[in-house]
């Protein structure tokens, strides 16, 4: 089992690399001494071959900025909804703005 813990940014992705797996099929084990997975070549000599179990995770520093913007935008929209529920003029203006934004979106 591989457990990945990440604390700097909430979103990460695995970088695909050419896998360096042995060209054999067989039993897989965890070698606690070498801290690696290994596969046994049952057809030949029963030798255990190391499986490269390293992964590379990357994160983009802009993700933090995007999430901060999204949080602010969500708060803004909540405030607009609250004002629209309290004031009919704001509700009317918001409905008209929503229509305009849909027209722009569909262009």
Map tokens 């360096």 to a residue: 20
pLDDT (0 to 100) of residue 23 = 62
| Residue 68 domain-assigned (yes or no) | yes
Co-location of 32 and 50 in the same domain:
yes
What's the pTM?
A: 0.46
Q: How many CB atoms lie within 10 A of CB 68?
A: 10
- Cα–Cα dist 41/24, whole Å: 6
Q: Which domain holds residue 83?
A: 62-106
Co-location of 31 and 67 in the same domain:
no
pLDDT (0 to 100) of residue 66 = 87
Co-location of 76 and 46 in the same domain:
no
The predicted-structure confidence for 61-90, as pLDDT tens digits, reads as follows 788 888 899 999 999 999 999 999 999 999
Co-location of 22 and 51 in the same domain:
yes
Co-location of 83 and 100 in the same domain:
yes
pLDDT (0 to 100) of residue 64 = 80
| Residue 7 domain-assigned (yes or no) | no
pLDDT (0 to 100) of residue 7 = 56
Distances from the Cα of 59 to the Cα of 6, 54, 99, angstroms:
10, 17, 37
pLDDT (0 to 100) of residue 1 = 43
Task: Name residues of the chain where pLDDT drops below 70.
Answer: 1-24, 44, 52-58
pLDDT (0 to 100) of residue 88 = 95
| Residue 95 domain-assigned (yes or no) | yes
Number of structural domains (the chain) is 2
pLDDT (0 to 100) of residue 24 = 62
| Residue 66 domain-assigned (yes or no) | yes
Co-location of 78 and 99 in the same domain:
yes
Characterize the bridge pairing of strands 48-51 and 28-31: unpaired
pLDDT (0 to 100) of residue 39 = 83
């Amino acid at each position: 089992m591989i457990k990945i813990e990440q604390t700097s940014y909430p979103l990460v992705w695995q970088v695909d690399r050419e896998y360096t797996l042995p060209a054999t099929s067989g039993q897989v084990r965890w070698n606690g001494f070498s801290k690696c997975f290994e596969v046994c070549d049952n057809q030949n000599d029963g030798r255990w071959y190391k499986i490269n179990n390293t992964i590379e995770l990357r994160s983009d520093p802009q993700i933090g900025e995007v999430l901060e913007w999204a949080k602010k935008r969500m708060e803004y929209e909540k405030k607009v909804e609250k004002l629209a529920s309290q004031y009919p003029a704001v509700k009317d203006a918001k409905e008209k703005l929503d229509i305009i934004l849909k027209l722009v979106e569909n262009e």
